[in-house]
Amino acid sequence: MKLPPGVSASDFAAALEKFAAVVGKEWVFSSQDDVDLYRDSYSPLWHEEDERVPSAAVAPDGVEQIQAIVKIANTYKIPLWTISTGKNLAYGGSSPALSGSVILDLKRMNRILEVNDKNHYALVEPGVSYFDLYHYIQDHKLNVWIDPPDPGWGSPMGNSLERGGGRTPMRDHFASVCGMEIVLANGEVIRTGMGALPESKTWQQYKYGFGPYVDGMFSQSNFGIVTKIGIWLMPSPEAYRDGVVSVPKHDDLIPFVDTLSFLIDSSVVRGTMLLDSPLLSYRASQGGSVLDMPGGPTVAETEKLGQEKGLPYWSMELHFWGPPNVIDAQWEYAKEKFSAIPGATFKDGRYYHFPMEVKDTDAVPWVALGIPSLSVFGLIAGGNGHMDFSPIIPMQAEAVFEVLSAFGKAYADLGIEPKNQFFSLPWCFFPHSFVLLFGFPIAHDVEKNRESRRAFQRLVEVAAEHGWGEYRTHVAFMDAVSNVYSFNNHALRRLHERVKDAIDPNGILSPGKSGIWPKRLRQQRA
Amino acid sequence: MKLPPGVSASDFAAALEKFAAVVGKEWVFSSQDDVDLYRDSYSPLWHEEDERVPSAAVAPDGVEQIQAIVKIANTYKIPLWTISTGKNLAYGGSSPALSGSVILDLKRMNRILEVNDKNHYALVEPGVSYFDLYHYIQDHKLNVWIDPPDPGWGSPMGNSLERGGGRTPMRDHFASVCGMEIVLANGEVIRTGMGALPESKTWQQYKYGFGPYVDGMFSQSNFGIVTKIGIWLMPSPEAYRDGVVSVPKHDDLIPFVDTLSFLIDSSVVRGTMLLDSPLLSYRASQGGSVLDMPGGPTVAETEKLGQEKGLPYWSMELHFWGPPNVIDAQWEYAKEKFSAIPGATFKDGRYYHFPMEVKDTDAVPWVALGIPSLSVFGLIAGGNGHMDFSPIIPMQAEAVFEVLSAFGKAYADLGIEPKNQFFSLPWCFFPHSFVLLFGFPIAHDVEKNRESRRAFQRLVEVAAEHGWGEYRTHVAFMDAVSNVYSFNNHALRRLHERVKDAIDPNGILSPGKSGIWPKRLRQQRA
């Protein structure tokens, strides 16, 4: 067992005993078998000295128990790494940034406190999963949709606090957060937004409250333990339809992205889209790469291949939710605008009316219909999981071209062959920008993982050289990513750490999260 | 002249001299005539001892000058009250919460640093007004709209930081903020979001950055001096149309608000709406009240009056922006949904296609068309201005009914006659909630203002008893409003103040803003 840094075995044992007095013996986990369950099943440090492993876990069942636990943790200087459902896979799962942390596992706090289908929101505890919330809504025949991320077993709270994304118009999960309850490091409970008003009637209806609006401080953060969260939902729409737009040539991406940006920001096109390239995918399938590898085919050669094979250079599936007449008009308008690109083609796709019975075996776009699913795991070919590299880039064609050549060159420099590349074209998970998702493979092989980590570290640096930064990262790379957000000698991180030291002077809450270290553990920074 | 508390006349003089050395003598204002210009022209404390008056003003022209000023202010413990254009009328104008503060007037920093009409954002300094930004966009023929608040002379930065609202689909101004540059109390400059990455390419395109997202901390706040702000804009739409929905009976408001909430949260209806009651307005014009005054006419009597006069109980103008076929389908769908209410009637309104020439004399809904205007001042009948009481209430008919009776009773208790009432029905400035705007009249009459303040204070308390809190308030009432946000013995305010003390230990930045007092001035709290 790895003890927390600076904590003696006897103090650690005393703390666990006190935790047990609070939550009951059965909810403190310290045997190796139990603790192993909290290791990251996708760890890029699998079985290495530096793997981020917890020392124990404690699972409280309420705010008062959490308050008691943080008091004990302050006494013994025990770092607590908070998880909700612990499914943050590809970014660390349930494992801590600092080895020896005790996992504060909030899975038992899984109450759905309210779902309102007149004002369209839910108030939930940390341990509620997207599946739980979906089934609750179905069972109560409520007129709202949730917005699950691709794997639906995680929690709305955890995903929103990590600022994850879904597929429906409510895709930007942190943007839908309205009101939190938080236990601070000193054990005090705050409620944010209108929740700061006792007996408030609008806690889940108005975000900002009065004075500084602090919710964002508690996202990707180690400033507090969020115990309740309000989340805005979408009223069940009458219909969904989708359709594909394709354009033939490389430079068509310039007007294509301009048109896309116009349509998104005009709210004509909503939800999450993925830029696709049937042509580059074909090139990759023939032993080439989606990226522009040095010495690889030129744009002209690739366009010629496209003509021969009848493959468009770029395409995208657009999705529409709402009243049939409205979404039909939106799709028609989108086609009209994209038609300004010579050679643009369009293909009508699926069309569903709701309510609709969906069977487990139906080939529907589950997540875009607000239905949580685990089918994404079927897409990941073999291996032992992946960790995600996910930089934000401008929503501009020129940025996409720059990405293809910059990462092509970086992969070549790193000696990564086309068949081992793990690049996706940009997603539109968030307004106004693109995000890339590179799924780095994880192996049960120390040498291979070392290579992966070296590549990951290099891509973080290459991205930063181009002015691109990650929106989220694996616990093992939080320092590395934080290190490139260095404007004015890390002025923002120093502000974060000044706040951290003021409100968590013993540094007990999730040390190392997002590269923020409390004073007493700051030398742990990589 | 009122000196800052605890600052000697000689220290004050020395500080002003040092300020002058930084910004030039002509940009330090300390004569009574000059300083009077920073008094609140709508002060509810006009010519009383407790009027919030500054001691002097200093107007820097750049970040480096601000850095030098805060260093001097730290040395001499001079409170600096930051304003951008200083047009926060009804909420204090350019006057401070703490008398004797030096106004840090950022009007000279009025550069429009970027307007991007491909990704639809602007990057501006504090002194840029909505008029400036509008004219810049017109002059450069850019394909974007701004979203001005009703009076357009204020600044996009100031209004967004105060979390104000406009009329177009971009109405929620803080929600459109993307990236800030901030000078902290110690003189350090931070950039938030992606701005923390040097040479970032997405500072105005992705809000959250990496780690805790702090932008909200700097809204309605005294934690820093914002020197640059990114604001998302709307692409110029092809068309605008509006139309009015009316329903005849009191209880029709229940399905009316449910339908409205469904349409807003489905993005079918966008922008800002005002609930109207032609019937209650008529009742008020006949010597009655919009509110339900104790002993006043019953619902049945009022409905009978409506039948006689042919006046609907409730109505609302809905607005649509976008491609003609889309907004036509949206209006048709809205009519279809509201038609479920027996007796609902509909009236088509204005219809504009863009680009459109608008002359100063045209009777168009300026603000809803993204055109800044001062015409709202024509609507305020006489007097010496007003201060606004603006509680958030649930977007539910039952809450509107409760408001009408609770404030009717409060007005009766306060002895405020119907003709002196200053109540509006709810606005939809923000998603998921209503906001009320009561314009309390200000007089150049100490006794009348005292009465207004007594009423204001009482309404704050009545609202809080019902679970409603203000979204923003006048500098003279910041403590009073902050006092009702008291959950768990003011736990949120104590968190604010712990952060304040950590990052501004000398308490130099806007003491008293939003009820947040630095340690050394905490006894100033009302």
| Nearest-CB residue to B191 (from A175, A473, A492) | A492
Give yes or no: residues B247 and B211 share one domain: no
**pLDDT at residue number B424:** 86
Please tell me the distance from the alpha carbon of residue B423 to that of residue B436, in angstroms, as a whole number.
8
Which residues of chain A make contact with B513, given a CB cutoff of 8 A? 211
Beta bridge partners of B173: none
Above 90 in pLDDT, residue B440? Answer: no
- In-domain check, residue B478: no
Q: What is the CATH number of the domain that holds A79?
A: 3.30.43.10
**Closest residue of chain B to A164, computed from CA coordinates:** B208
Which residues of chain A make contact with B394, given a CB cutoff of 8 A? 119, 201-202, 205
Above 90 in pLDDT, residue A359? Answer: no
Whether B197 sits inside 8 A of A488 (CB atoms) is no
Above 90 in pLDDT, residue A296? Answer: yes
B472 is catalytic: yes
More confident residue, B113 or B424: B113
Give the range of the structural domain holding residue A75, as residue numbers without chain letter.
9-105
Catalytic residue among A38, A42, A76, A91: A91
Above 90 in pLDDT, residue B283? Answer: yes
Mutate to test the interface with B, among A202, A233, A493, A525 (most CBs of B within 10 A): A202
Above 60 in pLDDT, residue A382? Answer: no
B41: Cβ–Cβ under 8 A, 6 or more apart, which residues? B89, B93, B384, B385
Q: C-alpha distances in angstroms, B353 versus A70, B19, B166, B169, B324? A: 60, 51, 21, 17, 8
Please tell me the distance from the alpha carbon of residue B166 to that of residue B433, in angstroms, as a whole number.
15
Please tell me the distance from the alpha carbon of residue A488 to that of residue B198, in angstroms, as a whole number.
8
CB A288 within 8 A of CB A309: no
Catalytic residue among B91, B130, B134, B411: B91
Q: How far is B213 from chain A (nearest CA, A)?
A: 5
A101: Cβ–Cβ under 8 A, 6 or more apart, which residues? A4, A54, A55, A79, A80, A81, A510, A511
Q: What is the mean pLDDT of chain B?
A: 95
**Closest residue of chain B to A333, computed from CA coordinates:** B323
Give yes or no: residues B323 and B435 share one domain: yes
Q: How far is A392 from chain B (nearest CA, A)?
A: 7
- In-domain check, residue B4: no
Closest CA to B45 of B512, B383, B477: B477
Token couple for B31 = 């004569």
Please tell me the distance from the alpha carbon of residue A111 to that of residue A157, in angstroms, as a whole number.
12
| Nearest-CB residue to A189 (from B221, B265, B488) | B488
Give yes or no: residues B490 and B413 share one domain: no
Catalytic residue among A167, A283, A472, A493: A472
List, for residues A387-421, the tens digit of each pLDDT value.
Answer: 899 999 999 999 999 999 999 999 999 999 998 88
Q: How far is A502 from chain B (nearest CA, A)?
A: 6
Whether A195 sits inside 8 A of B487 (CB atoms) is yes
| Nearest-CB residue to A265 (from B120, B330, B473) | B120
Mutate to test the interface with B, among A121, A145, A189, A205 (most CBs of B within 10 A): A205
Q: What is the CATH number of the domain that holds A400?
A: 3.40.462.10
- Per-residue confidence at A88, pLDDT binned at 50, 70, 90? confident
Q: At what angle do helices B253-265 and B397-414 cross, to 10 degrees?
A: 120
Q: What is the mean pLDDT of chain A?
A: 95
A208 is catalytic: no
Give yes or no: residues B442 and B345 share one domain: yes
Above 90 in pLDDT, residue B88? Answer: no
Which residues of chain A make contact with B495, given a CB cutoff of 8 A? 184, 190, 214, 503
Please tell me the distance from the alpha carbon of residue A423 to that of residue B268, in angstroms, as a whole number.
36
**pLDDT at residue number B420:** 85
Q: What is the CATH number of the domain that holds B144?
A: 3.30.465.10
- In-domain check, residue B2: no
Give yes or no: residues A200 and A67 share one domain: no
More confident residue, A69 or A152: A69
**pLDDT at residue number A343:** 98
Please tell me the distance from the alpha carbon of residue A369 to that of residue A355, in angstroms, as a whole number.
11
H or E segment at B10? helix B9-23
Could you write out the DSSP letters of every residue in A3-63? PPTT--HHHHHHHHHHHHHHH-GGGEE-SHHHHHTTS-TT-TTTTSTT----SEEE---SH
User: What is the rounded average pLDDT of the residues A283-297?
Assistant: 95
Q: How far is A276 from chain B (nearest CA, A)?
A: 20
Last residue of a domain, one of A204, A235, A266: A235
Query: Can you point out the beta strands (E) in B384-489?
Result: 386-389, 391-394, 427-428, 433-435, 438-441, 469-470
Catalytic residue among A76, A240, A352, A471: A471
Please tell me the distance from the alpha carbon of residue A105 to that of residue A338, in angstroms, as a whole number.
49
Which residues of chain B make contact with A205, given a CB cutoff of 8 A? 392, 394-395, 432-433
Please tell me the distance from the alpha carbon of residue A487 to that of residue B108, in angstroms, as a whole number.
25
- Per-residue confidence at A360, pLDDT binned at 50, 70, 90? confident
**pLDDT at residue number B378:** 59
Whether A190 sits inside 8 A of B471 (CB atoms) is no
Least confident of A84-93, A143-152, A223-232, A376-385: A376-385
- In-domain check, residue A4: no
Rounded percentage of chain A residues whose pLDDT exceeds 90 = 89
**pLDDT at residue number B317:** 98
Above 60 in pLDDT, residue B280? Answer: yes
Please tell me the distance from the alpha carbon of residue B503 to that of residue B224, in angstroms, as a whole number.
9
| Nearest-CB residue to A220 (from B175, B210, B265) | B210
- In-domain check, residue A2: no
How many A/B residue pairs have CB atoms within 8 Å?
350
User: What is the rounded average pLDDT of the residues B89-117?
Assistant: 96
List, for residues B413-423, the tens digit of each pLDDT value.
Answer: 999 999 888 88
**Closest residue of chain A to B393, computed from CA coordinates:** A202
Give yes or no: residues A230 and A376 share one domain: no
**pLDDT at residue number A383:** 63
Whether A492 sits inside 8 A of B267 (CB atoms) is no
Q: How far is A178 from chain B (nearest CA, A)?
A: 10
User: What is the rounded average pLDDT of the residues B455-484?
Assistant: 97
Which residues of chain B make contact with A514, given a CB cutoff of 8 A? 210-212
**Closest residue of chain B to A494, computed from CA coordinates:** B190
More confident residue, B251 or A362: B251
Above 70 in pLDDT, residue A378? Answer: no
More confident residue, B360 or A470: A470
Give yes or no: residues A96 and A173 share one domain: no
**Closest residue of chain A to B433, computed from CA coordinates:** A205
- In-domain check, residue A27: yes
Mutate to test the interface with A, among B119, B231, B268, B336 (most CBs of A within 10 A): B119
- In-domain check, residue A477: no
User: Any idea how long chain A is?
Assistant: 526
- In-domain check, residue A478: no
- Total domains in chain A come to 4
Q: What is the CATH number of the domain that holds A495?
A: 1.10.45.10
User: What is the rounded average pLDDT of the residues B297-324?
Assistant: 98
**Closest residue of chain B to A393, computed from CA coordinates:** B202
A472 is catalytic: yes
Q: At what angle do helices B324-338 and A324-338 cross, to 10 degrees?
A: 170
User: What is the rounded average pLDDT of the residues B105-133?
Assistant: 98
Above 80 in pLDDT, residue B384? Answer: no
Give yes or no: residues B199 and B261 share one domain: no
Give yes or no: residues B37 and B156 share one domain: no
Q: How far is B70 from chain A (nearest CA, A)?
A: 17
Least confident of A385-394, B62-71, B124-133, B250-259: A385-394
Whether A265 sits inside 8 A of B484 (CB atoms) is no
Place of tokens 């409250």: A209
Whether A491 sits inside 8 A of B188 (CB atoms) is yes
Which residues of chain B make contact with A487, given a CB cutoff of 8 A? 190-191, 195-198, 200
Which residues of chain A make contact with B393, given a CB cutoff of 8 A? 201-202
Mutate to test the interface with B, among A265, A338, A393, A504 (most CBs of B within 10 A): A265
**pLDDT at residue number B526:** 86
**Closest residue of chain A to B327, computed from CA coordinates:** A326
Whether B234 sits inside 8 A of A266 (CB atoms) is yes
List, for residues A312-352, the tens digit of each pLDDT value.
Answer: 999 999 999 999 999 999 999 999 999 999 999 999 999 99
List, for residues A223-239, the tens digit of each pLDDT value.
Answer: 999 999 999 999 999 99
Place of tokens 């957060």: A177
- Dihedral, CA atoms, B65, B71, B73, B74, nearest 10 degrees? 160
Give yes or no: residues A347 and A468 share one domain: yes
- Exposed, middle or buried, A6 (CB in 10 Å: 0-12/13-18/19+)? exposed
Give yes or no: residues A31 and A128 share one domain: no
- Per-residue confidence at B257, pLDDT binned at 50, 70, 90? very high
Q: C-alpha distances in angstroms, B49 versus A163, B365, B446? A: 49, 42, 11
- Per-residue confidence at B42, pLDDT binned at 50, 70, 90? confident
Last residue of a domain, one of A219, A235, A251: A235
**pLDDT at residue number B156:** 98
- Cα dihedral sign, A157-A159-A162-A166: negative
Whether A196 sits inside 8 A of B492 (CB atoms) is yes
Give yes or no: residues A225 and A245 share one domain: no
CB A438 within 8 A of CB A390: yes
Last residue of a domain, one of A171, A201, A235: A235
User: Any idea how long chain B is?
Assistant: 526
**ipTM (interface pTM):** 0.97
Q: How far is B460 from chain A (nearest CA, A)?
A: 12
Whether B495 sits inside 8 A of A399 (CB atoms) is no
Please tell me the distance from the alpha carbon of residue B408 to that of residue B236, in angstroms, as a whole number.
43
